[in-house]
Each structure stands twice: as C-alpha cells, then as structure tokens.
C-alpha cells in the first residue's frame, strides 16, 4: 500500500459559490410546502371521507360519501399528476431483486412474484378507474382521448400478465390470488370484450417467465410516467390559461380561488424561519448589514490649446450616463491637480539577457518600446500591450521579435583617421590597466583553457568594425587581432582596399550616431552573431591609452606646385621648372597629412625619362665642370608649419634626387632607377595643432599644407647657366683644333615627372586619464556606443569642477571601462516634452493581464511565492542619472510609486526638480528623461497597454444628498466624459480605465452567510475552514481559496507553525486567453487581514497557485449528421475546442469534475468526455501534455512519453492522474489556449486506427510548448 496522497488544491478548499449554505436560504425550510396541484389532489382524496347526512324517519343517517374526485376532471387529473413515481420505482426495483435473488428460498421468491403480479393489477385497476371517472366528467375531451389511447395500449400486456399468472399457478406452485384483490377480467376498459388472437406460448422455464413479467411491469410503469407528464402539462394550462374548452364549474372555480388565497397564509407560514433568523441576527446579535462601497476611477484631463498652466481644484464632478436603474452616474475628483501641456514623447527600453550570471548572452533594444518590433510598427493587438522592460529575444524568430540587437561598443575619433585613398591600414591598440586585464582574462577563460586559445576563438569575430566613409558607414576588414599579455594590450589590424571609398569626417546627415566631432570615427560594435557574445569579457577592460596607427600607400591625388606656380599632376611636368637652379622647389600637398603626426612620409617620383647612357648623368654631363654624376643632384625636404618652413636649418639633411642600385656591369658601378622613393624625415612633421588647409592651389606662404623638395646641389643646378659658355668654348676649340675635336656638351637636363605617389604613416595616442575634463581643440575623443546613442563618458557634463577645469586628482585616478555598463536587466527610458520644472506629475500604466503561464521566481520553504521585481526610478541631470527619493520627504525629487512596481493600475507620482533640463550628451537632447530600472526579473513585469498622463483620482457620488449610495457594477472605461460644470481651461475629460474597488450593498442572502460564518469562526482563524471563509468574506475578488497545514505540504518544506493559503482570482471577463494571478500587493493585503486573526506563532504564507497547462492532442472524426449540419470548415473543431476548455476550466461552476475530484482526473476521463460529445464519432491518436513554469524552468509531462523507471507494465497501463498532488499541492490545472486537434476525414472501419505517440519536436511551437523541461516528479526547488 503506497503512501497517502497529499490533498491537492482542487481536492477541497472553498469558493465564493460554495459559501452559500442551503439551510440559510429562505425557501429551504417550508412549514407548508404543498403546491396547488398537490392541494387539489389532497381535496380529491379528502372528499372520499366527507359523508352525506340525511334525516330518514326521524333519524340522521349517512348513505354515501362525497367522492368529488370521481366526478371532476380537474381533480382526476391532479391525482394522476401527483403520483409518487420515484418511490414506486424504488419499490419495483426491490421486488425484481427479490424475484431474481439466488439466495432466496422458494417461498420468498413465490411471495415476491405474487406481489409483483399484484402491483401490475393495481396499476391496471388505477388506469381503469381514471378512465371511468374522467368519462363521467364530460370535459377535456383531448385528455380523455389521450387517456383512452394509453389504456388501449395496455390491453395486450394485461392479457399476457393473466396468461403468465395461470401458467405460474398450474406449473410452478404460485400461491392463489387473495380474495379481496380485483381480477383483470373485472376491469371494464382494459379487459378486451372481443376474443383475442391466440396468445404466444408461455416460456417453459421459470427464469424466462420472471424476465417477461419484469418487462411487463416496466411497461405499465412507463405508461404511468407518460400519463403523469401529460397530466402535469394539462393541469398547468388549466390553472393558468383561459381556454373555452376548460371552463370550470362554479364549485371548482371557488375551490381554486380558495387555494390561491390560501397561498398568502402559506407564505406567511413559510416565512417564519426567515423572520426568526432575521430577528436573531439583527435584533439579538445586532449585526448590521454592510453598506455599499463606492468605486473609484482615474480621470485624464486635457487642457485647451494655448493654456500653459492651471490648477484644477478637488471636487470636479463628471457624469458618465445612467446605471441599470436609470440613475445618473456621477464621480467627483478627490485631489487638486496642476496641469501643464507636458506629454510622453518617447519610450525606449533595453534588456540584458543573462544579467546576473557570469556571461551576458545578448543585449536588446527597442527605440520605440510601445511598438510591435521595437522600431515603430503598430501593435497587432493593442490589448496585449508591450513589454516595458523588454524581454529575452534569444529563441524568438525574426517575425516574433519585439526588440532588435543592440549596438554596444566603443568608438574613437581622431584626425589621424582621415584616409582619402590608396591602400590603407589602421592599427588600434588598447593598453589596459593590469587589474582589469586580469579580470578580462578570467572572464575569457571560463573552462580553464589557455588564454591565447580562448582569445583566438573570439578575437576576429568579437566586434564589427566600421568607419565614417564618403558614402556612409564603411565596414573594415579585420586582418588580425593580437593579444599581448605581458604589455596588457590588445591590437586590431584593419584594412581598406584601394577601391573602397574615402574615410571622411563624421557628418550627421550621412552617418547615423550622436558623435560630436569634426574628425572621422572608428567604431567597434559587439558582434551579436559571434559564437560567443563578448560583452562580459571586454567590459572588464579599463584602457589606459588607446593607440591609433594608420598607413596609406600609393596616394595619387596630391596637389603640386613649384616656384613657377601650380602643376597638373595628371601630366608630365618639370618639378623644378625648365631651368632648375639651387633654390628651386617642388611643393607637394595632401590636406589630410597636415592634420596628423607623421611617423613616415615617402614621395615616389616616376620619371618620364632619364639619361640612357651607361653611366647616367656622368656621361650626359661630360665636359661640365665640376664633373656631375648620379648622386650629384641633392634635394632637401621641409614642411610648412606655423607659417614657416621647418626644419629651419639650411640645407636640411639633403638626399639624392635620383636613386640608383648597384650594377657591376656599368663603369660607374650603378644604374639609375626609373622611380625615386624619397623617404623624408618626420621629426618635425607634427601637424595636430595646425589649422585646416585652405582650399585652392598650394601656396608657399600658407600656414601649413605642403611638403617642399628644394634643390640644393649641385651649385650650378642642372647646368642651365654653365651650358651657354661651355657650348661657345667647345665650338671655338673645335674650330681651332680640327684634329682634336671635343664632343659638344649636351643641353641641361630637364627632369620630367610623369606621376607622383605619396605614402605615409601616422599615429595618435589617446591618454584616457587625460580625457577627464573639457575637451581640447583638435583632441582625439573616445565614445561609448550605447543602444540608444553615443556619448563621451569622460566628457559628460559632470566631469568638470565647478570652475570648469578638470580636477588633477580626478585625472590621475580616472579609470574608464571599455564598454558602457548595464547595472540592470531591464530599463525603460521615458522622454518627456513640454515640461516646465519644477512640477509634480503622475504616470498611470495601464497593465495587460497575463496571456501565458505566469513566470514565478522561487519556491520558498513555505511554498510557491510570486516575487515581483523592484522598480527603481531616476532622472537625468547633467548626464547623471540621479535616483528619486522614495516616499514623502522635503526633497524636490520624490517618487511615490502607488503602482508598487507596476503591479497595480495605480499612478506613479513623481516630483521633478528644478534642475531637470534637456541638455544631455548621453541621451538625445531636447527631452526631459526619466528612467525606470529592474535589477533582475524584468520579464516578470506585466505588459503595458498605454501610459496615461495628467490623471486625477475620482470617487462615485450618491445620486442625491438625501439618498444612500448604491453600487451595482463598475463603470466601463471611456464612460465618464462630461463635466457637470464646464471649466474653461479644460478641453476634454477622459476615463482611460474602468472603475474599481466598488462593492454592492450586502444582500439578505450574503448577510446571512457572513453572520453565520462569523458565528462559527468568531473572528479567529483556527481551522482551515476559518482561514478560507475569512478570506472569501473580505475579498470578493477571490474565486477560490485553499488552506494547507504544515503536514499537507511536501516533506522537504515542513516547518512548525506553517499555514499556506493559496488564492485563485476570478477568470477575467475580457476576451482572450488569460491566466489571472494576484499581484504581490494584493497578496500582502490578504496576508495582513489574516495576520489580525491568527495566532502569533503561525508562520503565514499567502501565494498564487502554480498553473499547470493541459493540452489535448488527438484526431477527431465527426459524425455525418454533424458535418451535414455544419458544413463550414473548422466550425465543429472550434466547438470541440470551446467545450473542452469549459470541461477543463477551474472556473466552470457547471463542471462537477472540478469540485473535489481534480486529483483523480486522468487522461481517460478527458477521452471519455470527447467521445460523449453528440457530434463526435470517434477520437484517435489521443494523448495529453501537461506543462508548468516553476523557478523559471518548464515542467513537462506527456501521457505517451516514456514509462518511468522502475514502473511495472501493469502500473504503466493504468490511467495516471494528471494532478501532481504530492509535490505541488498548490497547483491548478488550466486548459491550454489551443489544443492540438486535427479533423480526421475518410476513416472507415477496416482502416487502422492511428495510435497515440509521444509528442515530438515537429508538433511543438517555440514560446508555447517547445521547452527544455524537467520532470513533474522532481520536487520543487529549494
């Protein structure tokens, strides 16, 4: 014998309907309970005792009785209608059992047979008498015909009874009929006059005779039942309708009139118990009835356009039509309110998945939180509302998502990132604070893997990198990410191809983001598609310095000029002019270079032509003095900075203009290269503080913007001045010495450049501690990429001292995390517009009921408890979120959250300080920002339909001062709209929500119930009955309540003095699938009421039930008649769904299975219910799935799932109860929103019937029943 099962919630408990005690009902105890029909029958029977007395021969003698019941049709019909048929049925059933009893003796059985025959003859005699008496009344011919028809049908059965009796007398020793019993042959109307047809043979066996007699007995009884039903209808029509056929005789009319008058005395007699109870309760005990309690409502007031500030005093009366009794419904405001035209402009939310755990799995944002997708798409069903603090989106399909993946990361802006063209690379390095780097390493190596291996698996995919490009945000290719543990540094190597657009300065119209900078922005955002979301590891880093190193190669679009003017870079040109002399120069300009600190600069000159002689310039300039060679031509480089050329020393480290490479085959030992790669010195190339390069051609006198290549050697330049005298001298020599001719000197060489290429490297290092304080002109910046915008964490308005200068102490000890922090799981941002602080405002959150399994937080040792997350409020001032002070204090930033963490539809009252403004960097400007946060459990908060503003409470008034307040029903939303007295400043009055809190005056029945309960529990909670009825009395919103003692909860949760009270609300009247629960405030209110009546040693817990969702899966085959009657597709299936939900619903008062039998509900009971539906032919493939949500984990049970370990085959074959009464006595099962029912068509008898199978993944829906469960057999978590 197994252990006793703990009673479940539905096993007993008390409900509002069950409080009604039948014995307290006014009609329960009646001293005179005869109906008019019964009184007529009584008169008929009584008339047999009334005798006629006459004086005969001087003596008073009686000759006959009145016997009115044998002469008046109405009385005869009353006799037929008031037969005691149920008692007759019980007597007949006993007789049959005695006849068929195998343990009875022969004499006992024969006596039972004689009694059975006697009962048949008695009924036949009664039918005959009724027929004879009614025939003499000469009225109600229709009933007479019906009566004769019944009699005619009984003629054959009566003759068969007589034949069976003769057989029993002759063959089976039946005792003879008593002399006083009337025989069937004496019946005038039932015994046939003419010779009947031959009777069938009598059965040979006694058992067969008994069975036939039994059937004949039931035939007579059924005829009696049928005639009684007919008589009841005729009698009702005769007493209550005017029918010429039923005109009554005068004496009958007087009799009925007397009986109607008798009802007054009858009611007075029957009212004695009520009057006695009323006297005892009201006069002796002096318990007064509860008066009506007025309901309350919230009104939203709207100002007339142009009115900016007004105060509406308390006492404003608003009308909302009339109630069911035709009385006006009037509410009056109870508070004064100051109105200004402020409004809620923007609602945004952020949700952090995995908050509180070691690794955050994702961050999601809804810029438009009150929309379907978080981006502004309208809600498909506004009644379901939107999630104020967001929800986890990990397992949702794109179509089902209500939030988007948040952009979280960091960004830097610096002039060094200006990269116009060429093959470009960017190196970003983070040198971090050692302690933070250690925390980064700990977060990264969660499975004790080597740090480098863990980093390599994450590095390339951790971030998505882009930069401000000429056509928008330009993605960068991550070539390599290096980890340098010794230096506590991380480096990203990024690349842009030659074909990709230019990197330009941030332009708000082109690049989304709130970057306030004149430089390009390099942005790194966490990659939400990466195998591992990297926030938890990288958010631990605190960079000390951020290094940016860029390199641009093969830049072509440079500006060119020389001492003669601008040059066209697309055509061959002479860099130093046609007559190059020392001091001639070439100016090369590329504006982006002159905003950076260069570490390398290379000019590449592609020469159009060079001397083709083997020795190059030595052969070309043969005859020139001094002799020239390839290295003779020297240039010096300088930069234009601060309106001067630097370095200022002249010449400045000259270097060859033409480059050679060794070649041993040449006499000179070198050969000229077709291009010169001039590597310029960059120790003076720091242009970070220089003004922007002016547009237009290069100017040698400009402040900056050019590199100068000055020809410094040889002294004669390219021989322009030496060539004419040398040519004259050579010609004269040749003329004087024909035998010793000299070769003519070649004209001066004019170097021509066909193209110029520029390559450079530059770097910038951001000292993070130095960022604390106001920014310097041209300084590089560091930004946080937040889901709702970008801002400089070190440049916030609070980062400066009162004098505007950064504090030295703050600078030296300043640490900044790499990524923005998220201290809370869910955050709701509310942007307000039209404010004039200081101002007291209120926000009324219209909450939507739960549409799925309510998520519970923990199972305590005391049972199942719903934990509501705590909501914290703050406001934004000078880029700092400052918390509101709770309660009522003298401060000017107070929050009074009457909604109790968005669990009640009550306003959140906020006092906004005068310091509140619209100037921010961490949030969009132009709005006043409020923030509500939930540290943990954001998904447990109910969804919000709408946020109402400018609300004021109101209460119902009596229709007139001299009348008592009445309450019948709450006022629906949008009913209170008309002001009784117009207020010029008000344009509109709205009632956003229905009224609440009202209670009707106590009825007489409710009064009796309450007082009788009070007499039993006497205001003290001792027994479970006391707890349950005290709760039901004080809280009419409780549908059902169950009290559990310590020995009724699972053994793991036993605790001395423990009393658990589970409460279930009424089913919501709103359409749609709803699973109601009480808010924590309502549970606390119930707990406080019970605290006043329980012992101080009781450890009291009040909690919601654990809903267990029952889903039926089956194929349903409908009858042909039902399909013909309802040919519309799906109509029958909808009806099955509805009736199945009603059968399983705990709120269905007509369902007897929900009153004390819940713990024994099995899948076979559900299957039997489906098979008994009149339009269902058969059910196939039947199974039941049960789900619940406990400790944020799903519990799952499938009737067709695997057999539990250790269970025998016989035990597994038995129907298993669906209720888990042992581990979770606080559970309540509810029907699923939709059952998985399939209409089966075309199934014939020979076809194999589909068998039930375990529920597979193909028939599950994510977010509904696709869950990762644990077994119901597992005990609740501790």
- Residue-wise pLDDT for 406-430, tens only, equals 999 999 999 999 999 999 999 999 9
Cα separation, 981 vs 312, in Å, equals: 12
SS3 of residue 1145 by DSSP: coil
> Is pLDDT above 80 for 1149?
no
Q: pLDDT confidence of 196, banded at 50, 70, 90?
A: low
Range among 136-150, 417-431, 652-666, 670-684 rated most confident: 417-431
Tokens of 859: 């199972």
Give, for 662, the enclosing helix (H) or strand (E).
strand 660-662
pLDDT digits 0-9 by tens, 603-647: 999 999 899 888 889 889 998 888 888 889 999 999 988 888 888
298, 970 Cβ separation under 8 angstroms: no
pLDDT of res. 10: 40
Q: 224 is written with which tokens?
A: 């009696």
- Of the listed ranges 741-755, 1048-1062, 1084-1098, 1207-1221, the one predicted with least confidence: 1207-1221
Asked if residue 333 has pLDDT above 90, the reply is yes
Of the pLDDT bands very low, low, confident and very high (cuts 50, 70, 90), residue 203 is confident
- In the block, which residue shows the tokens 């220089």? 690
Cβ-based neighbours of 341, under 8 Å, separated by 6 or more: 303, 307, 308, 834
Which of 19, 463, 36, 462 is CA-nearest to residue 236? 36
Q: Cβ of 730: how many Cβ atoms within 10 Å?
A: 16
Nearest to 627, CA basis, from 636, 617, 639, 637:
617
pTM: 0.77
Is residue 691 over pLDDT 70?
yes
Cα 384 to Cα 1070: distance, rounded to the nearest angstrom: 11
Mean pLDDT across the chain: 84
Q: What does the pLDDT average to over 1092-1119?
A: 90
Pull the structure tokens for residue 882: 């400052």
Q: Count of CB atoms within 10 A of residue 550's CB?
A: 26
Structure-block tokens of residue 673: 């290269």
pLDDT band at 851 (very low <50, low <70, confident <90, very high): low
Residue 811 has pLDDT above 70, yes or no: no
CA distances from 644 to 583, 679, 699, 706, 712 (A): 16, 21, 12, 11, 19
Lowest mean pLDDT among 34-38, 469-473, 1052-1056: 1052-1056
Peptide bond into 1262 cis (omega under 30): no
Closest listed residue to residue 830, CA positions, set 906, 916, 914: 916
Is the pLDDT at 579 greater than 80? The verdict is yes
pLDDT recorded at residue 803: 41
Question: Which residue reads 């001292």 in tokens?
Answer: 801
Asked if residue 1070 has pLDDT above 60, the reply is yes
| Band of residue 1 on the pLDDT scale cut at 50, 70, 90 | very low
What's the rounded Cα separation, in Å, for the pair 1033 and 1036? 7
* CATH hierarchy code of domain 1019-1103: 3.30.300
Three-class secondary structure of residue 1175 per DSSP: coil
Q: What pLDDT sits at residue 1267?
A: 47
Q: How far apart are alpha carbons 792 and 922 in whole angstroms?
A: 8
Here the tokens at position 431 are 């040198």
CB 784 within 8 A of CB 539: no
pLDDT category of residue 1225 using cuts at 50, 70 and 90: confident
1117 burial via Cβ count (<10 Å: 0-12, 13-18, 19+): middle
Of 1101, 1023, 639, 631, nearest to 864 (Cα)?
A: 1101
CB atoms within 10 A of CB 1160: 16
Which contiguous run of DSSP H or E holds residue 843?
strand 839-847
User: How many residues are present in the chain?
Assistant: 1278
How far is Cα 41 from Cα 46, in angstroms, rounded to an integer?
8
pLDDT digits (tens, 9 = 90+) for 716-767: 899 889 999 998 998 898 889 988 888 899 999 999 999 999 999 999 999 8
3-state secondary structure of 1137: helix
More confident: 590 or 670: 590
Mean pLDDT of 1083-1091: 91
C-alpha torsion 1214→1215→1216→1219, nearest 10: -160
Is residue 900 scored above 50 in pLDDT?
yes
The pairing of strands 1236-1239 and 1106-1118 is parallel
Q: Which of 149-153, 547-551, 1055-1059 has the highest mean pLDDT?
A: 547-551
DSSP string computed for 243-306: -GGGPPPHHHHHHHHHHHHHHHHHHHHHTHHHHHHHIIIIIIS-PPPPPPB--EEEEEEEEPTT
Across 212-228, average pLDDT:
92
Q: Dump pLDDT digits (tens) for 953-986.
A: 999 998 777 777 888 888 999 999 999 999 999 9
- Which pLDDT score is estimated for 1103? 86
């Amino acid at each position: 014998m197994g252990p006793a099962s703990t009673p479940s919630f539905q096993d007993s408990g008390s409900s509002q309907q069950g409080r009604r005690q039948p014995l307290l009902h006014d009609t329960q105890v009646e001293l005179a309970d005869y109906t008019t029909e019964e009184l007529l029958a009584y008169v008929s029977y009584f008339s047999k005792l009334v005798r006629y007395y006459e004086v005969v021969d001087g003596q008073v003698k009686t000759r006959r009785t009145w016997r009115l019941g044998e002469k008046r049709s109405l009385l005869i019909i009353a006799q037929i209608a008031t037969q005691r048929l149920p008692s007759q049925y019980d007597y007949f059933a006993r007789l049959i059992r005695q006849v068929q009893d195998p343990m009875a003796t022969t004499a006992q059985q024969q006596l039972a047979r004689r009694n059975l025959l006697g009962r048949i003859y008695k009924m036949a005699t009664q039918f005959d008498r009724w027929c004879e008496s009614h025939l003499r009344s000469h009225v109600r011919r229709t009933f007479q015909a019906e009566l004769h028809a019944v009699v005619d049908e009984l003629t054959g059965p009566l003759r068969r009874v007589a034949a069976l009796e003769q057989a029993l007398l002759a063959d089976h020793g039946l005792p003879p009929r008593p002399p006083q019993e009337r025989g069937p042959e004496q019946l005038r109307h039932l015994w046939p006059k003419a010779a009947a047809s031959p009777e069938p043979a009598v059965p040979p066996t006694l058992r067969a005779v008994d069975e036939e007699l039994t059937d004949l007995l039931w035939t007579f009884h059924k005829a009696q039942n049928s005639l009684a039903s007919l008589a009841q209808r005729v009698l009702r029509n005769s007493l209550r309708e005017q029918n010429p056929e039923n005109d009554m005789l005068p004496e009958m009319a007087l009799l009925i009139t007397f009986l109607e008058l008798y009802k007054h005395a009858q009611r007075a007699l029957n009212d004695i118990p009520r009057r006695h109870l009323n006297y005892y309760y009201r006069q002796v005990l002096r318990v007064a009835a509860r008066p009506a309690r007025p309901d309350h409502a919230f009104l939203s007031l709207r100002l007339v356009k142009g009115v900016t500030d007004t105060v509406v005093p308390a006492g404003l009366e608003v009308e909302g039509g009339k109630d069911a009794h035709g009385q006006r419904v009037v509410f009056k405001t109870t508070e004064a309110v100051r109105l200004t035209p402020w409004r809620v402009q923007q609602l945004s939310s952020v949700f952090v998945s995995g908050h509180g755990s070691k690794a955050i799995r994702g961050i999601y944002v809804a810029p438009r939180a009150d929309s379907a997708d978080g981006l502004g798409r309208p809600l498909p069903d506004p009644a379901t509302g939107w999630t104020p603090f967001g929800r986890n989106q990990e397992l949702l399909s794109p179509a089902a998502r209500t939030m988007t993946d948040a952009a979280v990361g960091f960004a830097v802006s610096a002039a060094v990132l200006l990269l116009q063209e060429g093959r470009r690379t960017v190196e970003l390095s983070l040198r971090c604070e050692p302690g933070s780097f250690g925390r980064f390493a700990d977060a990264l190596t969660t499975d004790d893997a080597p740090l480098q291996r863990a980093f390599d698996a994450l590095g390339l995919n951790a971030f998505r990198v882009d930069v401000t490009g000429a056509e928008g945000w330009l993605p960068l290719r991550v070539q390599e990410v290096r980890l340098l543990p010794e230096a506590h540094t991380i480096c990203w190597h990024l690349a842009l191809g030659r074909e990709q657009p230019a990197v330009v300065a941030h332009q708000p119209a082109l690049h989304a983001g709130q970057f306030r900078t004149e430089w390009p922005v390099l942005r790194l955002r966490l990659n939400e598609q990466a195998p591992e979301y990297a926030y938890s590891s990288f958010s631990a880093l605190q960079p000390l310095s951020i290094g940016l190193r860029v390199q641009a190669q093969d830049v072509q679009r440079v500006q060119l000029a020389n001492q003669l003017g601008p040059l066209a870079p697309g055509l061959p040109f002479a860099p130093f002019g046609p007559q190059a002399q020392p001091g001639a120069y070439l100016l090369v300009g590329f504006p982006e270079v002159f905003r950076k600190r260069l570490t390398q600069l290379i000019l590449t000159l592609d020469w159009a032509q060079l001397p083709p002689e083997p020795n190059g310039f030595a052969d070309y300039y043969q005859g020139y003095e001094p002799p020239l060679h390839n290295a003779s031509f020297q240039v010096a480089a300088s930069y234009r900075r601060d309106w001067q050329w630097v370095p200022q020393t002249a010449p400045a480290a000259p270097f060859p203009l033409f480059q050679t490479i060794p070649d041993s085959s040449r006499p000179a030992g070198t050969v000229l290269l077709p291009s010169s790669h001039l590597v310029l010195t960059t120790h003076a190339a720091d242009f970070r503080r220089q003004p922007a390069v002016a547009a237009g051609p290069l100017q040698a006198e400009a402040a900056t913007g050019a590199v100068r290549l000055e020809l410094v050697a040889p002294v004669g330049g390219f021989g322009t001045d030496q060539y004419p005298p040398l040519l004259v001298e050579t010609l004269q020599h040749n003329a004087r010495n024909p035998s010793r001719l000299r070769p003519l000197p070649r004209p001066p060489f004019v170097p021509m450049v066909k193209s110029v290429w520029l390559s450079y490297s530059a770097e910038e290092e951001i000292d993070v501690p130095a960022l604390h304080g106001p920014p310097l002109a041209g300084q590089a910046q560091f930004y946080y990429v937040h889901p709702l915008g970008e801002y400089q964490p070190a440049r916030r308005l609070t980062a400066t001292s009162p004098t505007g200068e950064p504090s030295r102490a703050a600078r030296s000890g300043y640490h900044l995390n790499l990524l923005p922090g998220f201290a809370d799981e869910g955050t709701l941002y509310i942007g307000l517009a039209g404010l004039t602080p200081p101002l007291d405002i209120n926000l009324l959150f219209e909450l939507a009921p739960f549409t799925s399994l309510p998520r519970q937080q923990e199972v305590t040792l005391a049972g199942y408890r719903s934990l509501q997350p705590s909501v914290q409020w703050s406001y934004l001032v000078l880029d700092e979120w400052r918390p509101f002070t709770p309660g009522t204090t003298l401060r000017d930033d107070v929050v009074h959250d009457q909604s109790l963490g968005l669990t009640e539809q009550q306003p959140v009252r906020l006092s906004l300080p005068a310091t509140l403004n619209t100037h921010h960097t961490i949030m969009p400007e132009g709005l006043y920002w409020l923030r509500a946060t939930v540290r943990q459990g954001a998904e447990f908060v109910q969804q919000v339909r709408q946020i109402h503003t400018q609300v004021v409470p109101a209460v119902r008034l009596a229709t007139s001062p001299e009348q008592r307040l009445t309450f019948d029903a709450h006022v629906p939303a949008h009913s209170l709209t008309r002001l009784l007295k117009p207020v010029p400043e008000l344009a509109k009055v709205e009632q956003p929500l229905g009224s609440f809190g009202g209670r009707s005056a106590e009825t007489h029945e409710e009064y009796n119930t309450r007082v009788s309960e009070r007499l039993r529990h006497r205001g003290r909670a001792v027994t479970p009955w006391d707890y349950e009825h005290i709760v039901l009395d004080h809280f009419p919103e409780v549908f059902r309540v169950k009290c559990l003692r310590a020995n009724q909860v699972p053994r793991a949760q036993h605790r001395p003095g423990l009393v658990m009270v589970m409460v279930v609300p009424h089913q919501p009247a709103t359409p749609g699938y709803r699973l109601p629960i009480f808010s924590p405030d309502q549970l606390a209110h119930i707990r406080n009421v019970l605290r006043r009546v329980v012992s101080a040693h009781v450890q009291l817990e009040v909690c919601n039930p654990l809903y267990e969702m029952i889903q039926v899966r089956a194929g349903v085959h409908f009858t042909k008649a039902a399909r013909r009657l309802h040919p519309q597709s799906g109509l029958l299936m909808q009806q099955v769904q509805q009736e199945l939900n009603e059968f399983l619903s705990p709120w269905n008062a007509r369902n007897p299975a929900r009153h004390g039998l819940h713990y024994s509900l099995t899948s076979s009971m559900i299957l039997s219910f489906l098979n008994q539906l009149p339009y269902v032919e058969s059910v196939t493939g039947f199974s039941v799935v049960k789900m619940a949500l406990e400790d944020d984990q799903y519990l799952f049970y499938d009737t067709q799932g695997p057999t539990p370990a250790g269970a025998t085959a016989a035990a597994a074959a038995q129907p298993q109860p669906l209720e888990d009464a042992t581990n979770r006595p606080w559970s309540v099962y509810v029907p699923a929103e939709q059952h998985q029912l399939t209409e089966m068509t075309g199934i014939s008898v020979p076809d194999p019937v589909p068998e039930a199978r375990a529920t597979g993944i193909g028939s599950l829906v994510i977010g509904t029943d696709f869950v990762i469960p644990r077994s119901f057999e597992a005990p609740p978590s501790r």
